[in-house]
Amino acid sequence: MNRKTPRDSVRNHGADCIQNFLEEVLRHAAAEGLQLLFGAIGGDVQGEGQGEAEHLHEALAVDAVASVVQVYREGLGGGQLDELLHIPDRAETNDKIFSFFHLALYKPFCFVYNEAGIFPFHYKYCIREFFISQLWALDDFDNFPIQKLAVLTKMNIAFYTLGCKTNQYETQAMERLLAQQGHRILPFEESCDCYVVNTCSVTAMADKKNRAIIRRCRREHPDAILGVCGCYSQHDAQQVRQLGADVVGGSGGRAQFLADLLEAARSRQYREHLDNALTRREFEVLPPGGLQERTRAMLKVQDGCTNFCTYCIIPYTRGPIRSAPLETAVAQARQLEQAGYREIVVTGIEIAGWGQDLPGKPPVWQLIAAICAAVPRLRIRLGSLEPRIITPEFVRALAPLDNLCPQFHLSMQSGCDTVLARMKRKYTTREYYDSLTRLRQAFPGCAITTDMIVGFPGETEEEFRQSLDFIRRCHFAEMHIFPYSRRPGTPAAQMPGQLGNAVKEARSHAAMAVAGEMSRDYRQSLLGTTQQLLVEGTEGGFSQGHAMNYVKIYLPGEFPRNEIQKVTVTGLHADGVTAERM
């Protein structure tokens, strides 16, 4: 990781760090009081000190922080910059620090604090001692002050997330943990000190996307810290190292990964922590919610999978089932309500497996019912479900819950029994249809969505025809269609009868055409019905959001975000429906 940094890049990074440092100390002094800076002197500063401060007040530009940054970007060069970057002997350091901070920090501080009304007239030696104490509190003093100030104060950090809702949840959790430490989370396109790519490895295509974004990030930001975590780095850490990552973590241990990220920013040394996912036994509790939108939040209640479907590598990258204790999930749901969210999406790698590792092996419907009861004013939406858990007991327990969203993503993958058997799915098409029927009887008008893989190894034209017939019979509200992606390391990758891309593409188009017809039919069935629209934003003259059945609604006019509007569906529009306010 010991890449050399060009002088201009170092200077600009130092300017950013100094700016962050100034902002942090200003904030800290305002919050903690003047004792931090003036505890050593006692009493007010008068006379000559007051006169000098008044003179500085008149002489300095209003934008004091910007002037410091300008000193760094343009005023430091040659040996002066080198001298400030490396001060090996503490005996020689205090005077150097004092000279530097008197020039670049002390004068702007006097002006800024006077302007804010929180700084009695200055005392420069106290300021010097404050800075020295803060800097020497660091364990190591190499490369002062460029890299150290970045760690002493907040950094700009950006995330790029690929894959499932669980990955999205874990990214939001990491953002919250960093923000709680004072770091700023910025969009991935902006210039930052650190970048994190949270990867997915569900298909070979996902791996290709991972590599592309890691390469792009390393190319565009050669001097930033690049951290990579998630299922791809868990599965193929060697490839991630070769792509130039500075920090490598897997699909677990998020707190350790963030600690490694910050340590790499301090030391500029490569960091890596990986475990054997198959040995995991404890659920990692992370903070719920996100940093920006206060409309819909994800609540992770489960991790891991033990299905070992022949096309999937996730059990190897996520490990066995681990469940959040019921009381933990309920407490986090209440936290989200207090934070102002209006909807919670209960998510996990396979939430149908929740409870299998807990004492007594409680069924997942008990968790869902407890969350709904804990936050009755919030909409509760479920992530992907396995058909086998849709039992009579499941629907009987959940049907009375008014805040449970009547939209169920019932995982299917194929509508042909012989293909399901080769996939090692744990149900038949008859069992699947029985589960679907139970949901529709218990939740009239509910939206049932699913996903489907086409072109699985050995899939014949007849098997594909059976799948199309089956999905027509099921009348799904929405479908996600995926052409089979050959995933190295899975049994399906070694199966005979691998189909060409042209065949998979043709079948994908055929299935999407049927899915499009069913989506239109379902939305057509909503005309004239009353729906509850949760407004998520405004665009093109419409307030947009989703109903409880997750159909997108376009309501003319501008209405407050994060509020629920009672509407009547009036027509079809784009990927959703239009409505009018009641």
- Return the H-helix or E-strand segment holding 178: helix 165-180
Span 239-263, mean pLDDT? 92
Task: Give which of 214, 176, 169 is closest to 196, Cα–Cα.
Answer: 214
What SS3 class is residue 18?
helix
Residue 88 has pLDDT above 50, yes or no: no
pLDDT digits (tens, 9 = 90+) for 333-363: 999 999 899 999 999 999 999 999 999 999 9
State how beta strands 530-539 and 564-573 pair: antiparallel
In sign, the C-alpha dihedral spanning 168, 170, 173, 174 is: negative
Which residue in the block uniquely carries the two structure tokens 């198959």?
278
Q: Please, which pLDDT band fits residue 77 given cuts at 50, 70 and 90?
A: very low
Give 530-581's CATH code, choosing from 1.20.950.20, 2.60.40.1120, 3.30.2130.10, 2.40.50.140: 2.40.50.140
Exposed, middle or buried: residue 100 (CB in 10 Å: 0-12, 13-18, 19+)? buried
| 141, pLDDT greater than 60 | no
Question: How much is the pLDDT for 45?
Answer: 35
**Dist. CA 446–CA 439, nearest whole Å:** 8
Average of per-residue pLDDT values in the chain = 79
Contacts of residue 384, Cβ cutoff 8 Å, sequence gap at least 6: 350, 351, 409, 411, 451
Cβ atoms 333, 378 nearer than 8 A: yes
**What pLDDT, on a 0 to 100 scale, did the predictor assign at position 287?**
87
**Phi-psi domain of 78 (left: phi exceeds 0; alpha: psi -120 through 50; beta: other):** left
Higher local confidence (pLDDT), 121 or 471:
471
Dist. CA 245–CA 46, nearest whole Å: 55
Q: Fold for domain 155-275? A: Rossmann fold (3.40.50)
- Asked if the model's pLDDT at residue 259 lies above 50, the reply is yes
Q: What confidence tens digit (pLDDT) does each residue in 90-140 have?
A: 334 444 444 444 434 444 444 444 443 333 333 333 444 444 444 444 343
Report the C-alpha gap between 166 and 279 in whole angstroms: 20
- pLDDT tens digit sequence for 543-581: 999 999 999 999 999 999 999 999 999 999 989 999 999
Mean pLDDT of 452-479: 97
Q: Using CA atoms, how far apart are residues 250 and 235, in angstroms rounded to an integer? A: 8
Predicted pLDDT of residue 151:
38
What pLDDT does 292 receive?
55
Most confident region among 10-14, 60-64, 264-268, 511-515 by mean pLDDT = 511-515
Confidence of residue 219 (pLDDT cuts 50, 70, 90): very high
* Superfamily of 296-524 according to CATH: tm_1862 like domain (3.80.30.20)
pLDDT average, residue stretch 510-515: 97
pLDDT tens for residues 126-137? Answer: 444 444 444 444
pTM attached to this predicted model = 0.74
pLDDT at 295: 87
Q: One fold for both 155-275 and 296-524?
A: no
How many residues does this entry show for the chain?
A: 582
Chain center to CA of 283: 18
What's the pLDDT band for 203 if we cut at 50, 70, 90?
Answer: confident
232 in Cβ contact with 240 (< 8 Å): yes
Q: 277: buried, middle or exposed (CB in 10 Å: 19+, 13-18, 0-12)?
A: buried
Q: How far apart are CA 38 and CA 124, in angstroms?
A: 10
Collapse the DSSP code of 454 into the 3-class scheme (helix H, G, I; strand E, B; otherwise coil) and give the result. strand
* 15 confidence band (pLDDT: 50, 70, 90): very low
Q: What is the pLDDT of residue 131?
A: 45
Domain boundaries, the chain: 7-151, 155-275, 296-524, 530-581
What pLDDT does residue 266 have?
76
Q: Which of 42-46, 154-158, 324-328 has the highest mean pLDDT?
A: 324-328
